[in-house]
Every structure is written in structure tokens, then in C-alpha cells.
Structure 1
Amino acid sequence: MPADRERLIRDLFAAYLANDRERVADALADDFRFTSPFDDNIDKATYFERCFRDSGWIARHDIERIFVRDDEAFVTYRCMATDGRSFRNTEFFAFAGDKVRRIDVYFGATYQHGSFVRQQG
């Protein structure tokens, strides 16, 4: 089961990079919930309205680690943007069968051409 969860996470990241909304939607449970510093426990429809946009700004995702235990996982990745920005996030995944039921995102620092960029807030 852990290998299946890891494969699902990797497939989801690949679908985001390919801007494949249908593949992403298929991976998420009907009762999917999403939380980030900008979103509090939003549902699947709201997630797609607010959070899913053209991924052409992403050059690549470098998945650094995935820890899976039963129906939960953590993934840490670095996102490299086409304009030289990069950031590292950690996401908590909860699964229901072969679907992602929940993602909680924890934002990391942002860099521009290797230099730290202070975030507004």
C-alpha cells in the first residue's frame, strides 16, 4: 500500500505539471478538502476555482521526500518557476481508498535566482 500512495502522489504532481485538470480531479475524492495559508478547509469545487491555474509558470517539481504511513503521507518538494523563483513546501495527504481525501499545505521560503525573497504579510 505505501508504494501505491507514493505513486499516486508522484502521478498527481505530474498531472499538475501537465496542467491536466481531469487527471487531478480523478485523483481527488468527492469529499476532498484543502487547507493552505490562504485557504481554510475548502471543498473540491472551490479548490479548482481558487487554486488550479495554468501550470505554465512551473519549470519543474523536485520531490525531495515522501513519507507514507497507512492512509497518510507527507511530501516535501521544491518548485522551480520559469522566472527563476523557487520555493519549498511540505504537504500532508490523507487518503480514502485510492483517492486523495485531504491536502494540507505548509509554505516554505521563496527564492529568486538563489536569493531569499521576503514574503508580504
Structure 2
Amino acid sequence: MAEANRAETIRKIFAAYLSNDREFVENAFSEEFRFTSPFDDNIDKATYFARCWQSSDWIERHELERILVEGDQAFVTYRCTAKGGKSFCNTEFLVFDGDKVKRIDVYFGATYQDGKFVRQQL
């Protein structure tokens, strides 16, 4: 799969989150899919959808700031803005297996409320 196609797949996954198109996202992930974040350690596809998939009606918008693809690996950095004025930046590292996403590791960034930095509690 060409790097441009992988970048387009990432864009389509983010669009599918906003439109609550779970079927698209499920089909974009391989059966061996694994997900890690500060809250989840190497969970499988079924656990990801049970624990992490939720309605996106709280999201006002996603702004994909950069997508960097090299071979079967990619980074995407984005800002997510909630309808209540809260926003945050995250970076995700994705690994592809052919045209499917095999792994996502999420790294949380800063959070803002109405444009002002909010210190996160540990």
C-alpha cells in the first residue's frame, strides 16, 4: 500500500469517528489489532470497541495537524475540540499490515478549556 493511501486511510478513520461509522473503523483494523494508551495496555480489537468506542456527539471537530507516513508506520497529530470548549492534542503511532491498521499507540498531549491550558491531574 502506498504511503499516500495510508495517509488517506488515517483521514477516513478520523472522519468515521466523527460520523459514528463503527463499521468502517472495524473494517480498517486488522483482526490482530492492538491498542495502547495511558489508560489501555495492548488491548485487542474486541476490547477496544467495548471500552473505547463511544458516540462522538461530544466532539465538535478534529483538526489533523500532521500525518507522517514511512513505509508501514505512521504518526498523526491532531487537536480534538469538544462541544463544551475543551480541547486536547494527541499523537498516535500507527502500524499497518497491508491496507489494515494493526496497531495504534496513543500519546496524550496538553488539554485546554476555552483556549486556556488546563493542568492534568495524575
CA distance in 1, matches of 2:4, 2:11: 11
CA distance in 1, matches of 2:48, 2:20: 15
CA distance in 2, matches of 1:57, 1:30: 28
Find runs of 4+ consecutive structure 1 residues off by over 6 angstroms. Answer: none
Correspondence for 2:108:
107
| Alignment partner of 1:66 is 2:67 | yes
- Give the TM-score, by structure 2 length: 0.98
Give the letter aligned to residue 60 of structure 2: A
Deviation at 1:90, TM superposition (A): 0.3
Query: Could you say what secondary structure the match of 1:52 adopts?
Result: coil
Aligned pairs for 1:34-45 (under 5 A) are 34-45=35-46
Unaligned runs of 5+ residues in structure 1 are none
Unaligned runs of 5+ residues in structure 2 are none
Percentage of identical aligned residues: 67
Aligned pairs for 1:57-96 (under 5 A) are 57-96=58-97
How many residue pairs match? The answer is 121
Deviation at 1:52, TM superposition (A): 0.4
Deviation at 1:42, TM superposition (A): 0.2
Query: Could you say what secondary structure the match of 1:56 adopts?
Result: coil
CA distance in 1, matches of 2:99, 2:61: 25
CA distance in 1, matches of 2:103, 2:116: 32
CA distance in 1, matches of 2:26, 2:19: 13
CA distance in 1, matches of 2:50, 2:121: 23
Deviation at 1:118, TM superposition (A): 1.5
- Give the TM-score, by structure 1 length: 0.99
Give the letter aligned to residue 49 of structure 1: A
| RMSD between aligned residues | 0.5
Correspondence for 1:25:
26
CA distance in 2, matches of 1:42, 1:86: 25
Query: Could you say what secondary structure the match of 2:20 adopts?
Result: coil
